[in-house]
Amino acid sequence: MADKQHKFVLDESEMPTHWYNVTADFPTPPPPPLHPGTHEPVGPDDLAPLFPIELIMQEVSSERYVKIPEAVRDVYKQWRPSPLYRAHEWEKKLGTTARIYYKYEGVSPAGSHKVNTSVPQVYYNSLHGVRRLTTETGAGQWGTALSYACALFGIECEVWQVGISYDTKPQRRTLIEVFGGQVHRSPSRMTQAGLQFPEDHTGSLGIAISEAVEVAAGAEDTKYSLGSVLNHVLLHQTIIGEEALLQLAKAGEDKVDMVIGCAGGGSNFAGLAFPFLRGKLAGDSDPRIIAVEPTSCPTLTKGEYRYDFGDTVGMTPLLKMYTLGHDFVPSPIHAGGLRYHGMAPLVSHAVHEGWVEASAIDQHECFSAALEFARTEGFVPAPESSHALAQARREALAATESGTEPVIVVGLSGHGLLELNAYAEFMTDHLADDTFSAEAAADALAHTPQI
């Protein structure tokens, strides 16, 4: 019987051959990125210093499906298709009437979903003889994923890691270096962007992006690689949701009631959610789709939907997104991948139009859910993923109260085996409270461009 089965797998031959581009199905088109100087829509020439032409075309594509190159699919097969699990033991612990499934991306070489985009990004750059890629990373998952992909294609990888994560997550730094990447603490003394901040500053993803972009723009043989936010990054991640749809069919589920993912920059959430949103937009299904963020960086729930820079210094195009202001610096919570001032324009558009819900949860509730999940399902979740689990627990308990039996699909974006210090802090009651300064956000928003 399907309800006795724990995991649902696909053969390599069943792996999707195309990524899904949600912009083809949006009833209203998302606002375009704007040139920071002219405030006119950016064109391919504006992005050419940073990205190869293939990624630029994917950034502006209106095609519903984009073919995954064979070379990329071949690398994907090292860990894809990733498994979909039915959370039987967690359901039993919760005493819930809900059926909970989780799509697990921790099986990748980097231990997270990030490799789904690092591999195609490096592949496309390799076609043009690029010698070096620069990037930023928070907790380190993206830096790890990019350094691994660069090793496969013989390209140098230079990573600016957010200061607080660099200081508190040395294992992540080591893993990036194991794969051949070079890591700098951000803000660094190597860039004009970094020099604008004190050397002991805790840093932010916005600052690290500024540093990586500055170095890439100043070297002819170097390009920049982004781990979230932009359209082409979200596109690559949709293989997660495409696989999940096939696996749910194998599980005998013909209707999904909720899709839940954590959201920082938006790529992991979009990767799971957008293929489900396709059916919702077409009127074929109507799941609740919930993006979950930390209360300390509540971009979707307390930010403003407006044009802003993607980085702190103001070097990137202006993006229409939910933002707390490009120079907002969130508190140094352990979910480093969620500490970003903005949200992907496509996710922001979906929330603004009412197709996606947003929720914010503090890290104490998230770690409580993660610990319960680990003790029943056996996987230690990344702190980022714990936000999705906390929301799923809320929904599962509510279902029991109301006597309903919803099907809930959760994105488990990666494992937390390199974040055990965070779990130790939680279990010994030393985990700091999340703090969000509405005053700091208001001040940062006052500095955003007026469009």
**Cβ neighbours of residue 451 closer than 8 Å, sequence gap 6 or more:** 34, 39, 306, 307, 318
What is the reported pLDDT for 1?
A: 43
Q: Residue 16's closest CA among 237, 226, 228?
A: 237
Q: CB neighbours (10 Å) of residue 73?
A: 18
Checking phi first, is residue 399 left (phi over 0); if not, alpha (psi -120 to 50) or beta? Answer: alpha
What is the reported pLDDT for 3?
A: 59
The DSSP H or E segment spanning 213 is helix 205-217
Total-model pTM: 0.95
Q: Residue 109's closest CA among 163, 162, 154, 150?
A: 150
Pair 356, 344: CB distance under 8 Å: no
**Cβ neighbours of residue 21 closer than 8 Å, sequence gap 6 or more:** 58, 61, 62, 63, 64, 65, 66, 231, 235, 238
The single-letter DSSP state of residue 87 is -
d(CA 96, CA 395): 9
What is the reported pLDDT for 337?
A: 61
Instruction: For residue 187, say if its preceding peptide bond is cis, omega within 30 degrees of 0.
Output: yes
All residue ranges of the chain with pLDDT < 50 are 1-2
Owner of token pair 């997270």: 112
Instruction: Give pLDDT tens digits for 321-349.
Output: 999 999 888 776 555 566 688 999 999 99
d(CA 413, CA 381): 8
Please report the DSSP string for 384-404 in residue order: HHHHHHHHHHHHHHHHHHHT-
The single-letter DSSP state of residue 319 is E
What is the reported pLDDT for 327?
A: 87
Instruction: Give pLDDT tens digits for 254-302.
Output: 999 999 999 999 999 999 999 999 999 999 999 999 999 999 999 999 9
Q: Residue 265's closest CA among 225, 322, 304, 308?
A: 322
- Ordered by start, the domain boundaries in the chain are 2-15+69-111+232-446
What is the reported pLDDT for 417?
A: 94
d(CA 406, CA 278): 20
User: Is residue 187 exposed (0-12), middle (13-18) or buried (19+ Cβ within 10 Å)?
Assistant: buried
What is the reported pLDDT for 437?
A: 86
The CATH number of the domain covering residues in 2-15+69-111+232-446: 3.40.50.1100
Distances (CA, A) of 288 to 247, 265, 435: 19, 20, 28
d(CA 323, CA 307): 8
**Residues written for the chain:** 451
Please report the DSSP string for 406-429 in residue order: -EEEEEE-BB-TT-HHHHHHHHTT
Angle in degrees, CA 27, 59, 327, rounded to 5: 95
